[in-house]
Every structure is written in structure tokens, then in C-alpha cells.
Amino acid sequence: MSETYDFLFKFLVIGSAGTGKSCLLHQFIESKFKADSNHTIGVEFGSKVVNIGGKSVKLQIWDTAGQERFRSVTRSYYRGAAGALLVYDITSRESYNSLSNWLVDARTLASPNIAVLLVGNKKDLEEDREVTFLEASRFAQENELMFLETSALTGENVEEAFLKCSKTILAKIEAGELDPERIGSGIQYGDASLRRLTRHQQRQQRSLDCAC
């Protein structure tokens, strides 16, 4: 049986190498910590259907390699993404310092309207922390990003991160700020929505017929 969902969102997970992007995706999809994670080669893919405010949304997630040598490959996957998790490691100032570059890429290559959630990962390593919560919150505010600290190890805030970003996209669709029918919006209607739309159109047609 084919899956039914209302919307499909294209999502990216971006940020420097070793920040825990693949572990976050694994924790989100499998509810487990991926203890033996190696550097991603190019991109990896995962998907999951989530329920947001009564709507089912399929997240199509591209987990990109953070290593510089894959940059040209990973960039080619950015186009038209509706949302992104921009990940740094709270124990690595270097990963925090490169956030601006990743953000520029996301906004220029994906879409200027892309919903970006800043993720400070490895929250469980408090004793090795190099970036404070406050500092990162300010960066998020200045750059109009949502922000959460997570741990792919314990699972803390991992699902929340994907859901929070998805909720924002859904709210923009409902407010008419994002049009799923625009090519390159990173959003598609699923079967469930299409069926509802068709029924709605049929009702509209019937009321037009009656009015004539």
C-alpha cells in the first residue's frame, strides 16, 4: 500500500564535518544513537512521515557531508529545499565560526525563504562546551533562525528540531506565504491533500453549476 500524506517537504542537514548531522538523522529515524558513524561521502538520504497539527507530512531529508572536498557535490542537492537544520557542535568553536558560510549557501542555493533551524549538537558534553547557549541564541536571533540545543546521543530535542522546523513551514503554507504549487518550493502535495483538493474543486464546480 502506498503511503498517504498531506505534504512532502524537502529538508537539508548541513554544517561542518563531525558535528553529528548523520547521528541526528539516525536518531530521528531509528530512535537510536549511531555509535559507529563515519564521515558522510557526498550525501545520504532518509525519510519519515510525521504528524503536525493533524496534517501528515513526509520529510525527505538529505544529510550532506561537511568535509570541504564534497562541497561541490553537496551544493547540488540544496536547490529548492524548504527547510534545513544548520548544525554546529557546542564543543567546537571552529564549527560555530563557520555557520555564516553555511547559511549563505543555504539561502543562496536553496531558497531565500528556506526555514532554517540552528542546532547546537552534543549537548551531553557539557564539560567540553566551547559555545554558550546565550551566544548562539543571539546569533540565531540576528540571523532570523530558530534555535535548539540537541544531543544525538541521548535523543534530547532531536525530534523537536525536525518538528519545529516543519511546523514553521506548514504555518507559512497556511498563511499563504509559501505556495506548494510553485516549482522549486521544496514542497509537494501528497495523495491525501490532492484527494481533498479534488473534492473541494468538485464541490466548487457543483456550486458554480447550480448558480448558472
Ligand X SMILES: Nc1nc2c(ncn2[C@@H]2O[C@H](COP(=O)(O)OP(=O)(O)OP(=O)(O)O)[C@@H](O)[C@H]2O)c(=O)[nH]1
Residues that bind ligand X (CB under 6 A): 17-23, 37, 39-40, 65-67, 121-122, 124-125, 151-153
**Per DSSP, which regions of 109-184 are E strands?**
115-121, 146-149
Q: In angstroms, what is the minimal distance from the CB of 22 to Mg ion?
A: 3
| Binding partner of residue 124 among Mg ion, ligand X, none, CB cut-off 5 to 8 Å per kind | ligand X
Residue closer to Mg ion, measured from CB, 136 or 152:
152
Instruction: State the minimum distance, in angstroms, from the CB of residue 128 to ligand X.
Output: 9
Minimum CB distance to ligand X, residue 41 (Å): 8
Residue 150: CA atoms inside 13 Å, Cβ hemisphere, count?
Answer: 31
In the bound state with ligand X, the residue whose beta carbon lies nearer, of 22 and 111, is 22
Cα 133-138-144 angle, rounded to 5 deg: 120
Binds Mg ion by CB under 5 A, chosen from 16, 40, 74, 92: 40
Cβ closest to ligand X, residue 133 vs residue 204: 133
Using the rule CB under 5 A, is 74 a contact of Mg ion? no
3-state class percentages of the chain: helix first, strand second, coil last, to nearest 5:
40, 25, 35
In 5-140, where do the E strands start and end?
Answer: 7-15, 43-52, 55-64, 83-89, 115-121
Query: In the complex with Mg ion, which residue's Cβ is closer, 40 or 193?
Result: 40
Question: Least separation, in Å, of the C-beta of 129 and Mg ion?
Answer: 22
Q: Which is nearer to ligand X, 119 or 170 (CB)?
A: 119
19 binds Mg ion per the rule CB under 5 A: no
Relative to beta strand 146-149, strand 115-121 is parallel
Q: What are the CA-CA distances from residue 121 to residues 10, 30, 73, 96, 148 (Å)? A: 22, 18, 24, 11, 9
- Rounded CA gap, 52 and 166, in Å? 8
Closest separation between CB of residue 77 and ligand X, Å?
13
